[in-house]
Structure 1
Amino acid sequence: MQTHEIRRRFLDHFVKAGHTEVPSASVILDDPNLLFVNAGMVQFVPYFLGQRTPPFTRATSVQKCIRTPDIDEVGKTTRHNTFFQMAGNFSFGDYFKREAIEFAWDLLTKSVDDGGFGFDPERLWATVYLDDDEAAGLWQEIAGLPAERIQRRGMADNYWSMGIPGPCGPCSEIYFDRGPDYGVGGGPLANEDRYIEIWNLVFMENERGAGPAKEGYEILGPLPRKNIDTGMGIERVACLLQGVDNVYETDLVRPVIDTVAAVAPRGYGQGNHDDDVRYRIIADHSRTAAILIGDGVSPGNDGRGYVLRRLLRRIIRSARLLDITTPIVGDLMATVRDAMGPSYPELVNDFDRIHRIAVAEETAFNRTLASGSRLFEEAARTTKASGSTVLSGKDAFTLHDTYGFPLELTLEMAAEAGLSVDEDGFRSLMAEQRARAKADAAARKQAHADLSEYRELIDAGPTEFTGFDELNSEARILGIFVDGKRVPVVSRNGGPTPERIELILDRTPFYAEAGGQIADEGTISGTGSSATAKAAVVDVQKIAKTVFAHRVTVESGEFVEGDTVVAAVDPKWRKGATQGHSGTHLVHAALRQVLGPNAVQAGSLNRPGYLRFDFNWQGALSEDQRSQIEEVTNEAVQADYEVHHFTTRLEEAKAMGAMALFGEQYPDEVRVVEIGGPFSLELCGGTHVEHSAQVGPVTIIGESSVGSGVRRVEAYVGLDSFRHLAKERALMAGLASTLKVPTDEVPARVANLVERLRVAEKELEKMRLANSRAAAANAAAGAERVGKVRLVAQRMASGMSAGDLRTLVGDIKGRLGSDPAVIALIADGGDGSVPYVVAVNSAAQDLGLSAKDLVQTLGAPVQGRGGGKPDLAQGAGRKPAGIDAALAALRSELDRS
């Protein structure tokens, strides 16, 4: 049975049982604890926590999930994926254990002809929580499972929670016996390779307190209502129904392996375990990378971007270890698209962007591999020079941490160089890093924001937004919150100022921060007997995406729940905000016109007079491109296009070509903003000007990188743009006056001055080099015999840098010939620093001398620290008065040696 069919049968089964089919959410959700969605229930958390009333009592979904904590284990086991599809059915206070078990057993064991999966009932096992006699009895009653095929497990295995305070409850897992070929009998307690888990039924009935993630926490008491949350692993079921040994050989993953095998010198399944693991890593990570990019993630150095980068680099490294030397990532993305497209059409519709980002990261990482290879060669030379045949664990860790080299790649390169690797040292450093990361994650993990105080208002329905049509609205206060707690009244009473005061109104003209546009500012004032009440609105945020919370500073009087007030947006603020937001749309359209359709939005921010726009693009923009973008934008301003907005269905808007932000979740009904017909068409809920000319001049003030493959354009609009240009004009006039030339000749005169300065600096450098060589010759001529070596130990001219000293040391060393020699130069840096350099030639090293040791002797009197290699070391101190003592100490040390 094909995977797409497994998905369809699951959803149909539960839809027929009265469940609402809910589409998969993006793998990126606004959750304080999750980098990615890692379970099917995540998008329903507000319902389980009682923060929002669900629009249905039963739901079913197949959720895209990503789990990466054990990324290094991918490919080594038969059942783990970083990306997987979790099919689930959910009950919100409706049915409970009996129905959950009935639904699952019916679908698993019903014949294929009748719409089921056709599993043999005799090969299914169940586990239940230790004291869950009810679930054990239901398995016997409903499924006819004998007692010996129902095993009891403790809290770590069969009691589910989110790992933080919140809902929890016992669970029951369903396992399939793959047979004696896969290991010993005895059920899941004996062997989880033979008995593979395919479905987990969670009976969510309690609330847990703080404590460890899996066991040992306190059960606070029962939830107000009992819920059901289940998860069936699509890939694992596909593995069993398709009769393959592991999840990597199912119909949606095996094509990637075949794509790799077509170009790899060594095939898959040829008896080489390490090679098979590499094939599986490539197959697994290719799917995950495509899904991540499709949901709006770009490679980066932290957070989600770092995970994507790591996955892509593991693909490239694994391909290299299979001796694939040509680019392959583009073909892998195409294979994933073809396999996954029927279930995830966004992989098809957005393939050009997915392909471009993935291939760009492959190109960049190939350059990084070259840099890492140079570091390895240097580390190998140093290791051999020291007489060792073991590359240090620290060097191996640096290659892994900085350049992304896996240990196996370092081991292979080391073997080719005739070296081994301190694997224990490497693993020790890796363990330390993981411990730090785990501690950091635990420190950042927190309970979900408690929105229970807002529950009544959320359930009452969304705030009516009137700001598209008016800036002043009469409204009623529905709720007042002080530091998150609901109160009946708030006033300016001279007491301690609360950290946060929020007013919830039934309707409002204030725009709540969203879509890159920051919130409106203005006032909320009382009416009638409360006319003295006045508050400044400093921020507006949405709660549960529907209720507008006005964060205010009470300036006078008091506000009482139920009062009628007037909410007034500052018109100057709103005008500037609309200029900034409409300007963002114009810049976006201009970018796509100049750079092409691959310049896709990756984020934005706009406020009165200013905008910034992030977009996917490789490499900096040229001056010509920047000028063109600015010109196209201002041509649109001059054209005075009409700005229209209308509401339509999401699919219709996309069919019209309306641009959407990748990774953003949109409702079925969306608002479209159109500027100049085909010039700009975007999904947007923000406020805008009525004609493009109202944006005013747009001046691009900067273009920079904000991550791999993501660029940022910043610009001023309206009066702020004019002020910026006025400053630029004043600066140019000042330069023209100073240089005594017309303004149009300033660039040529400045270029002439820069060239003359460059020539002068070259002449100065020649003179300095000549002086340095003379100084080196004099120093070499003055070499003294100390102990067994010729010594040059001198205080050099004030102001010399460590680089200057290194250059001199090399020159002097060359003049002293092959006799044992030590050169030590030190100088007063002129800024309180004392740079110093020590060199020891080969003959002196043969006598047991080392620059790395001698630099410590030289540094002590000047309170310095340093280090280096046996032939050359350097350091810096902070006590110029100790320079003479430092040279004397060095002479004494050599005299004793």
Structure 2
Amino acid sequence: MKQLTSNDIRNLFLDFWASKGHKVEPSASLVPVDDPTLLWINSGVATLKKYFDGSVKPDNPRITNVQKSIRTNDIENVGVTARHHTLFEMLGNFSIGDYFKEEAIPWAWEFLTDEKWLGFDPDLLYVTYYPEDTDTKRIWSEKVGLTDEHIVAVADNFWDIGAGPCGPDTEIFYDRGPKFQDLDDSDPEMYPGGENERYLEIWNLVFSEFNHMPDGSYQPLPHKNVDTGMGLERVVSIVQNAPTNFETDLFMPIIHKIEELAGKVKYGQDKQADVSFKVIADHVRAVSFAIGDRALPSNEGRGYILRRLIRRSVMHGQKLGINRLFLFELVPVVADIMAVYYPEVKANQEFIIKVITNEEQRFQETIHDGLDILYSVFDTIEQNNTQVVPGKDAFKLYDTYGFPLELTEEYAEEKGFTVDKDGFNEEMQSQRNRARAARQVEDSFSVQTRVLGEIDVDSRFVGYDQLVINSELSVLIVEDELQNTANAGETVQVIFKETPFYAEMGGQVTDKGLLQDKTGKVVGEVTEVKRAPNGQHLHTVAVKNQLHVGYVYTLQVDEKRRRSITKNHTATHLLHQALKDTLGSHAAQAGSLVAPNYLRFDFTHFGQVTAEELLEMETIVNQKIWDALPVTTLETIIDKAKEMGAMALFGEKYGKEVRVVKVGDYSIELCGGNHVANSQDIGVFKIRSESGIGAGVRRIEAVTSQAAYDYFRQKEAELTAAAQAVKAQQTKEVVTKIEGLKQHLKEIEAEKDSLRSKLMAVESQDIFSKVEEVNGFSYITYHAKNQGMNDLREMADQWRQKASSDVFVVASDLDGKVSLLAAVAKDKTKSIKAGDLIKEIAPLVGGGGGGRPDMAQAGGKDPSGIPEALKRVGEWLAQ
């Protein structure tokens, strides 16, 4: 077998399929673009769904790619098994209605066995097939020449994940030899397709030939497709004769760096330590790529997964003796390994390091929180006279704080406790089931439709500089059927030979307008325009009078609406550049909406945006508007556009021919949308709001032109109303008036606090004299009225100064809510803990709480329970 690097194998795969007429697609961002059904890009086909469901027809029906992917449903198995990863690379070749089984199977065999390519020994390859798929078996037997011993029927070789394309698949296995199988030759799973280590699945060829319909039936696809996937890590492990995927050139440089950081611990000397090496190496790859693709740690969605991966890595680092920040030092190693095919990791290295370092520092604080919870669990166990940490608590530490089960077991063992592993596993399985249920939705495709994919008429968009044209109606679709006529009252889809109507894309909303016949009568209202699978502008029309294929109609775009949209679109470009100038180059676009009445711009940023930064952006945009910069467009090839410095939407794919929009020398972007001729046409720009909308993603909403003027008028009216409310003669006096009112209120509050303190001092003489005793402890309880928690704490301070008793408990009801405080003299906290007492009595007022041994507090929602709660103090002390 050839000696090949992982980079060699990637290149060979792409070169092979390029030689078969395939277009090489670059790896897409791990963060899905315009696909809300996916949390991550999780396979090679995930970025090509639009081709497989027929919503878009590709320029070339033959496609190949090496796609970085993330799957996180089995994170706990990473490092334990030989092949589980969070980030992996999927090698794939795809046919969209072009070649099928007769070509796909022999080509796959050629790539694997021909000496020009991988050169695998054919005797070591086995295949499986779906029993009813006799064509596949015939091809393997007759065209490839495999014997029956190398062709295995497996009942579950049918790829089906719900509605959409599905079909039988054939898997290719590599025999790694007897040294990878158990000594027991009678193992029923010891065959290609069984659960074993000897026969390693390396490639799966899926033949999509059916539509899984929403009603559960299966119908033949209008166009049959091929979708294949081969894990790079597995192939590399075979070529490099590695026991597992981790002993390959994809991981070993990272592992060697971890050894250097760990010092005494070396890889391969201890199985438990090896798990930690593997977990860290796997997770830092996934985290580096994901952050480079602008996913950021957070408490939800993909951001939560990143946070969990980083925290697991830190905990495993500690198990190796690394007790400082260290993950950031592995990022350059990942970047060097992947630089040939994924230069973006090295390009974003500084940003990735900054995010990981911030997250590591944050976790150092969280570790202490986790330990506090663990010790609290230990206290509860001791009080209950048990010896077992509940599985639910162990799982919470694992899932929320990143504590591996082994770490909790170690701490438990020090205390003489064990951990309920079965309960932990039940919680883990519940989480897996939730993830699996979510994936059933995530992975689904749309069902292919026949009509749209087969429309092959020419249609040209001329709406950059024309808003009214005459054009012939070429295609008329009524209820998914081609027709020649449509009648009033129907809603139809139409395609014209030429159109001025912009189809919704790139964040810009659709044009709307009217269709008129040659007499000027309105025959239809255009309500929406989208791109058909073959790229034509597909108009949705509410028919007012009859429409006929072949007739010429006047197409008239709503000019006022379009004018507002163009102002907002050009302003969006200016805002994009102003964001980078103000926040830094990491602030990349993460989505946008260009509507007639406002614009919305989402961007990645790992912190708050200050008021000063917003003002700076707004000032920059307005200055560029008032500088009257010319807006020019240029159609060129993608490489030329990149040389010019044109910004692209992060993660978006572009063809060879692109349109570049320049606003003076300030902004240059790839864009197919509509724009003003000069920046001064925008008039004025105003940021209306800024907020966080998800994991490291923030949103700015803004208005321009008349909408901005309306916004200013609204704020002026609000300011005038405020002036009247504070009795200011002019609006410029509002701030002074408010400051005066605030100072007056502060003085009143101070006077009120002084009176309250004096009253409390008088009351306390009576309160602290009513001491009761039980079981050798003295205690005071008191029911206050209309007091907040601050007042109760002040009361507790006075009690502590007077040293009136061992225990003091005070409760108050204010606005229907209960405040409850328990205090214990410091020399009594070994016998009595305020936190235990508060947990005992808080449920009686419908609440809960906790605190330190010497002071604890709680809230509640049932004031009627206060007498019972205070009575319970004496009973508890007596016990």
Structures share fold, TM-score greater than 0.5: yes
Matched, 1:660 2:648: yes
Aligned to 2:699: 712
Q: CA deviation at 1:694?
A: 1.4
* C-alpha distance 585-244 of structure 1, shift in aligned 2 (>3 A): same
Aligned to 1:627: 615
Matched, 1:119 2:115: no
Aligned to 2:248: 250
* C-alpha distance 772-423 of structure 1, shift in aligned 2 (>3 A): farther
Matched, 1:13 2:16: yes
| AA matched with 2:513 | T
| AA matched with 2:118 | F
Matched, 1:460 2:457: yes
Please state whether the residue corresponding to 1:514 is helix, strand or coil: coil
Q: 1:686 aligns with which of 673, 691, 697?
A: 673
Q: CA deviation at 1:395?
A: 3.4
Higher mean alpha-carbon deviation, 733-742 vs 196-205, is at: 733-742
Q: 1:469 aligns with which of 465, 468, 478?
A: 465
Q: CA deviation at 1:469?
A: 0.5
1 CA distance for matches of 2:836 and 2:307?
Answer: 42
1 CA distance for matches of 2:581 and 2:194?
Answer: 63
1 CA distance for matches of 2:834 and 2:5?
Answer: 72
Q: 1:279 aligns with which of 264, 277, 298?
A: 277
Do the aligned residues in 2 keep the contact of 1:199 with 1:231 (CA within 8 Å)?
Answer: yes
Do the aligned residues in 2 keep the contact of 1:87 with 1:231 (CA within 8 Å)?
Answer: yes
1 CA distance for matches of 2:604 and 2:684?
Answer: 25
Structure 1, unaligned runs of 5 or more: 212-217
Please state whether the residue corresponding to 1:528 is helix, strand or coil: coil
Q: CA deviation at 1:763?
A: 4.7
Do the aligned residues in 1 keep the contact of 2:205 with 2:228 (CA within 8 Å)?
Answer: yes
| AA matched with 1:471 | L
Aligned to 2:68: 64
Q: CA deviation at 1:653?
A: 0.9
Aligned to 1:241: 239
* C-alpha distance 368-833 of structure 1, shift in aligned 2 (>3 A): closer
Q: CA deviation at 1:257?
A: 1.6
Please state whether the residue corresponding to 1:36 is helix, strand or coil: coil
* C-alpha distance 733-59 of structure 1, shift in aligned 2 (>3 A): closer
Please state whether the residue corresponding to 1:257 is helix, strand or coil: helix
Aligned to 2:151: 150
2 CA distance for matches of 1:259 and 1:319?
Answer: 12
Q: 1:571 aligns with which of 559, 566, 569?
A: 559
| 1:183-332 paired onto structure 2 within 5 Å | 183-184=182-183, 186-188=190-192, 192-208=196-212, 220=218, 222-224=220-222, 226-332=224-330
Return the TM-score normalized by structure 2.
Answer: 0.86
Aligned to 1:764: 752
Higher mean alpha-carbon deviation, 243-252 vs 288-297, is at: 288-297
| AA matched with 1:9 | L
* Structure of higher RCO (CA pairs closer than 8 Å, 6+ residues apart): 2
1 CA distance for matches of 2:72 and 2:342?
Answer: 21
Deviations 1:759-780 (A, max 9, x none): 5534533543443454344223
1 CA distance for matches of 2:88 and 2:227?
Answer: 17
Q: 1:876 aligns with which of 853, 857, 860?
A: 860
Q: CA deviation at 1:30?
A: 4.6
Q: 2:502 aligns with which of 498, 508, 511?
A: 511
Q: 2:345 aligns with which of 335, 344, 347?
A: 347
Do the aligned residues in 1 keep the contact of 2:812 with 2:820 (CA within 8 Å)?
Answer: yes
Q: CA deviation at 1:723?
A: 3.5
Do the aligned residues in 1 keep the contact of 2:165 with 2:447 (CA within 8 Å)?
Answer: no
Deviations 1:329-351 (A, max 9, x none): 33322222211121123334444
Do the aligned residues in 2 keep the contact of 1:176 with 1:197 (CA within 8 Å)?
Answer: no
Do the aligned residues in 2 keep the contact of 1:294 with 1:662 (CA within 8 Å)?
Answer: no
Deviations 1:440-478 (A, max 9, x none): 444676551544342233x435x5322211222334444
Matched, 1:74 2:82: no
Matched, 1:697 2:681: no
2 CA distance for matches of 1:260 and 1:895?
Answer: 55
Do the aligned residues in 1 keep the contact of 2:161 with 2:440 (CA within 8 Å)?
Answer: no
Q: CA deviation at 1:381?
A: 5.0
| 1:486-525 paired onto structure 2 within 5 Å | 493=489, 502-520=493-511, 522-525=512-515
Structure 2, unaligned runs of 5 or more: none
Aligned to 1:159: 158
* C-alpha distance 240-577 of structure 1, shift in aligned 2 (>3 A): same
Q: 1:722 aligns with which of 709, 720, 731?
A: 709
Deviations 1:789-827 (A, max 9, x none): 767555422x334664566467658867566x6746353
Do the aligned residues in 2 keep the contact of 1:199 with 1:232 (CA within 8 Å)?
Answer: yes
Do the aligned residues in 1 keep the contact of 2:222 with 2:448 (CA within 8 Å)?
Answer: no
Please state whether the residue corresponding to 2:261 is helix, strand or coil: coil
Do the aligned residues in 1 keep the contact of 2:784 with 2:811 (CA within 8 Å)?
Answer: yes
| AA matched with 1:825 | A
Do the aligned residues in 2 keep the contact of 1:290 with 1:347 (CA within 8 Å)?
Answer: yes
* C-alpha distance 176-563 of structure 1, shift in aligned 2 (>3 A): farther
| 1:777-816 paired onto structure 2 within 5 Å | 777-783=765-771, 792=780, 794-797=782-785, 799-801=786-788, 804-805=791-792, 808=795
Q: 2:591 aligns with which of 593, 600, 603?
A: 603
Q: CA deviation at 1:253?
A: 2.2
Q: CA deviation at 1:16?
A: 3.1
* C-alpha distance 703-22 of structure 1, shift in aligned 2 (>3 A): closer
2 CA distance for matches of 1:596 and 1:875?
Answer: 45
2 CA distance for matches of 1:777 and 1:141?
Answer: 103
Higher mean alpha-carbon deviation, 593-602 vs 443-452, is at: 443-452
Aligned to 1:215: none
1 CA distance for matches of 2:560 and 2:478?
Answer: 29
Higher mean alpha-carbon deviation, 808-817 vs 434-443, is at: 808-817
Do the aligned residues in 2 keep the contact of 1:523 with 1:568 (CA within 8 Å)?
Answer: yes
Matched, 1:526 2:516: yes
Higher mean alpha-carbon deviation, 682-691 vs 540-549, is at: 540-549
Do the aligned residues in 2 keep the contact of 1:648 with 1:672 (CA within 8 Å)?
Answer: yes
| 1:740-759 paired onto structure 2 within 5 Å | 747=735, 750-751=738-739, 753-755=741-743, 757-758=745-746
Deviations 1:642-686 (A, max 9, x none): 111111111211111111121112222111111112x11111122
Q: 2:530 aligns with which of 530, 536, 541?
A: 541
Q: CA deviation at 1:127?
A: 2.4
1 CA distance for matches of 2:64 and 2:498?
Answer: 34
* C-alpha distance 278-491 of structure 1, shift in aligned 2 (>3 A): farther
| AA matched with 1:464 | R
Root-mean-square deviation over aligned CA pairs: 4.1
* C-alpha distance 508-314 of structure 1, shift in aligned 2 (>3 A): farther
1 CA distance for matches of 2:54 and 2:667?
Answer: 41
Deviations 1:138-186 (A, max 9, x none): 445555544333332222xx22234544231142423232442554565
Higher mean alpha-carbon deviation, 3-12 vs 128-137, is at: 128-137
Do the aligned residues in 2 keep the contact of 1:482 with 1:501 (CA within 8 Å)?
Answer: yes
Q: CA deviation at 1:531?
A: 2.0
**For this pair of structures, how many residues does the alignment match?**
865
Matched, 1:177 2:167: no
